[in-house]
Structure 1
Amino acid sequence: MSAIVCAGDEFISADLLARALAEAGVDAEFRRIDSRWPTEPFAAFDGVREAAGDPARLAELVRGADALVTHLAPLTAEVLAAGRGSLRVVGVTRGGPVNVDVAAATAAGALVVHLPGRNLGAVAEFCIGTMICAMRGLPAAASELAAGQWDAAGFRYERTGLELRAATVGLVGLGAVGLRVAELLRAFGSTVLAHDPYASAEAAQRVGVRLVALPELLSGSDVVSVHARLTPETKQMIDAGALDAMRPGAVLVNTARGELVDTRAVDAALESGKLRAAVLDVFDPEPPAPDDPLLRRPNVFATPHLAGASRQVAEESAARIAAEVATVLSGGTPGNCANPEVTGTRTVEPWSSS
């Protein structure tokens, strides 16, 4: 019988992973362990990041195991070396396996499978909902009412905002999440622009998006929503110059990575009135400093990296990774693999850090 380590947490538990594997037809001894994320924050470990758990304990559990399935466990070189000779596959319920030392997994002979776009539905719905809230000034109005202040001046013309059907929305990045956001915006009747040097023209046309250069997107959009991958080229791509190029009174939404946006420049743009509002679900660093002035602005809708949090994400991610692991254990080729050179399998889609 196979032995599989299920390393869960308080979002995707070891029990949920084991149940998904059993439902996928995997007959195995399940070795379960859970970290306390998100109650305790994730951290960087030896060569991996955004990880939670005890590498030494994982190394003990992985000895003799055929597979390891996880969400955030720190799969360091130490952990993966302990699985050398038995470990065939590592399954990660994330868009990109940033918590895995992929080189060490390759050296151990283990495929690393993952789930690009695993939370695209949750993130896309979050984007649409918060765009509406930010354009209409709803977070500040709700906060004022909770504090006992009835502000009927929100009906004054100069304080009202756009409806999505009248707005032009610019998407910086048109990957899986960006495409889903575009589909939802199309239903509202929005005009949608996108900038992505790697986007498929056919996919953009299918969802009614016009691909443009970044300067045209910035100057032509009422809402700019960031969905780019973090690379050396995209780091702080939304800087003071980009913000200055945006329409006066525009809204900025960032659910991708905090490092894509210069938050000090955003603070200045909000102070000057250049930006009407900002929606920030991601920060650099995370968590942001408690005294960060940006968080206290009434026209900032800030959330603690929750855009991808839904029950569907947890349950469907467990089911999808279980199917991938079952495929590998039965001798098949996985759909998304970070190190196909291990067996010559083909990567269908490059992994991202989302």
Structure 2
Amino acid sequence: MTAVPTVVVTDYEFPDLDLERTLVEEAGLRFVAARTRTPDEIVAACAGADGIINQYAQLTADVIARLPRTRVISRYGIGLDTIDVAAATEAGIVVANVPDGSLDDVADHAAGMILGLARGLGRHDRAMRAGGWDYAAAGPLLRLRGRVLGLVGFGQIPRRLATRMQAFGMTVLATDPHTDAAVAADAGVEFVGPAELYRRADVVSVHAPLTPLTTGLVDAAALAAMKPTAYLVNTARGPVVDEAALLHALTTGGIAGAGLDVFAAEPIAPDHPLRGLDQVLLSPHCAWYSVDSEVEIRSKTVRNVIDVLCGRAPAYPVNRPGHPRAATVVG
């Protein structure tokens, strides 16, 4: 007899999991919500899990090795930096994500940060709240038309951002070792090497996934190559940018400012030096969020798990284990 499959949520930041619970139980599966942080907590919560839904809890190789029953792990959103995909694949566990749940939302957020920095909106807002009325309070502002946007990465989000900023008259460059230059050319985007991108761009927007190879990708040398009037925007993952090098560039006038939605460690500390820099726009890793995107991401994350546990292929597989795990049999 095959046991009723159990789906466990390792952790979540939503007010409730009513949507997930409804979808799982309607599919005839058992639902368990947890709030885990440590490896031992994850293992204890997921010991009986056939399917796992994951947000920020770290599913390392050691944790995965201690989950003999799990057949599928599905992560909220695009990033896979919380899951050791290679270890899961070796163990026969299907890994899935939701690569298209917030593409427009993140592109809109990055565009909003670019516009906010270019128009000095953060500084103007703070100056007026302090009683000021000075059109020059934000310092010298440069129009976007005719200036250059550099995209670090050219996946689905930066392609959408390119279209948005081209509408504002910006020339767009991109660098990405995994994308064909012809794809960029079709979008009216010039493919260049990283050094040229940093040198020419008036705004650099980061869209690289977090991997061992991209950790610290935007480093001191990259920032030193940028114009002192340029801005850096990061809506990807915090560790892709060397945060210490960025702080140095911001405090020494190496670049004009930054728009940051992601950070090396999250949430950032109340006394983090970035909070005190007037030329920086900050948001709390929310570029992905809208009411619409949240429903889409949560629903698709759950359906990945349901599909695998019901014998179907998930809509968004990340890997293809050579020997996928079979359902647990009891009795």
Q: Deviations over 1:109-162 (max 9, x none)?
A: 43222223443222111100010001111101101111222223349xx72222
Q: Which of 271, 282, 303 is the equivalent residue of 1:302?
A: 282
Distance 1:319 1:14 in 2: 11
Match of 1:198 among 175, 178, 183: 178
In structure 1, what is the equivalent of residue 320 of structure 2? 340
Alpha-carbon distance in 2 for matches of 1:126, 1:232: 26
Matches of 1:221 and 1:19, distance apart in 2 = 48
Relative to structure 1, is the Cα distance of residues 326 and 231 closer, same or farther in structure 2, using a 3 angstrom cutoff? closer
User: Does residue 303 of structure 2 align to residue 329 of structure 1?
Assistant: no
Q: Which residue number corresponds to residue 292 of structure 1?
A: 272
1:68 is the counterpart of 2:52: yes
For residues 163-202 of structure 1, the aligned pairs below 5 Å read 163=144, 165-202=145-182
Structure 1 residues 296-330: Cα deviation after superposition (integer angstroms, max 9, x where no partner): 11111122222223222321112222333343234
Taking structure 1 as reference, are residues 78 and 253 closer, same or farther at Cα in structure 2, changes over 3 Å only? Answer: closer
Which of 108, 119, 123 does residue 102 from structure 2 map onto? 119
Quote the Cα distance in structure 1 between the aligned partners of 2:199 and 2:180: 23
- Quote how far apart the aligned CAs of 1:221 are: 1.2
- State how 1:118-157 maps to structure 2 within 5 Å: 118-154=101-137
What's the counterpart of residue 19 of structure 1? 22
Aligned partner letter, 1:28: G
CA distance in 1, matches of 2:184, 2:313: 29
Equivalent residue runs for 1:131-280 within 5 Å: 131-154=114-137, 159-163=140-144, 165-280=145-260
Indicate the residue corresponding to 1:99 in structure 2. Answer: 82
1:58 aligns with 2:52: no
Tell me how far apart the structure 1 counterparts of residues 62 and 220 of structure 2 sit (CA, whole Å). 42
The verdict on how the C-alpha distance between 1:263 and 1:341 changes in structure 2, with shifts beyond 3 A counting, is closer
Q: CA 1:14–1:219 in 2, change beyond 3 Å: closer, same or farther?
A: same
Give the superposition deviation at 1:78.
8.0
Q: Which has the higher contact order (CA 8 A, sep 6+)?
A: 2
Query: In structure 2, how many angstroms separate the alpha carbons of the residues matched to 1:160 and 1:96?
Result: 34
Matched, 1:110 2:93: yes
Within 2, Cα distance between the matches of 1:72 and 1:55? 11
| Cα distance, 1:343 vs structure 2 | 4.1
Work out whether residues 12 and 56 of structure 2, in 8 Å CA contact, stay in contact via their aligned partners in 1.
yes
Instruction: Find the aligned partners of 2:210 and 2:244 in 1 and give their Cα distance.
Output: 18
Q: Is the 8 A contact 2:202 2:230 kept in 1?
A: yes
Change (3 A) 1:92 1:294: closer
User: Which has the higher mean CA deviation after the structures are superposed, 117-126 or 206-215?
Assistant: 117-126
1:29 — aligned with what? 29
How big is each residue's C-alpha offset from its partner over 1:141-189, in whole Å with a ceiling of 9 and x where there is no partner?
101111222223349xx722223x3331000111222222123223333
Q: Deviations over 1:230-288 (max 9, x none)?
A: 34443323233222222231111112222222333333333343322111222223334
SS of 1:28's partner is coil
Aligned counterparts of 2:15 and 2:62: Cα–Cα separation in 1: 23
Shift in alpha-carbon separation, 1:31–1:294, aligned structure 2, 3 A:
closer
Q: Which residue of 1 aligns with 2:328?
A: none
Query: Do the aligned partners of 1:251 and 1:277 also contact (CA within 8 Å) in 2?
Result: yes
RMSD: 3.1
2:5 aligned residue (3, 6, 13)? 3
CA–CA separation in structure 1 for the residues paired with 2:233 and 2:151: 10
Asked whether the equivalents of residues 55 and 78 of structure 1 are also in contact (C-alpha less than 8 Å), the reply is: no
Identify unmatched segments of 5+ residues in structure 1. Answer: 36-41, 47-52, 346-354
What is the rounded CA distance, in whole Å, between the counterparts of 2:108 and 2:152 in structure 1? Answer: 17
- Identity across matched positions, percent: 37
Q: Contact (CA 8 Å) 1:279, 1:301: kept in 2 or not?
A: yes
Residue in 2 that maps onto 1:282: 262
Q: Distance in 2 between matches of 1:261 and 1:2?
A: 44
Kept after mapping to 2: 8 A contact 1:235/1:260: yes
Alignment-derived partner of residue 38 in structure 1: none
The DSSP-based 3-state class of the residue aligned with 1:301 is strand
CA distance in 2, matches of 1:141, 1:194: 31
Greater shift after overlay, 67-76 or 246-255?
Answer: 67-76
TM-score when normalising by structure 2: 0.83
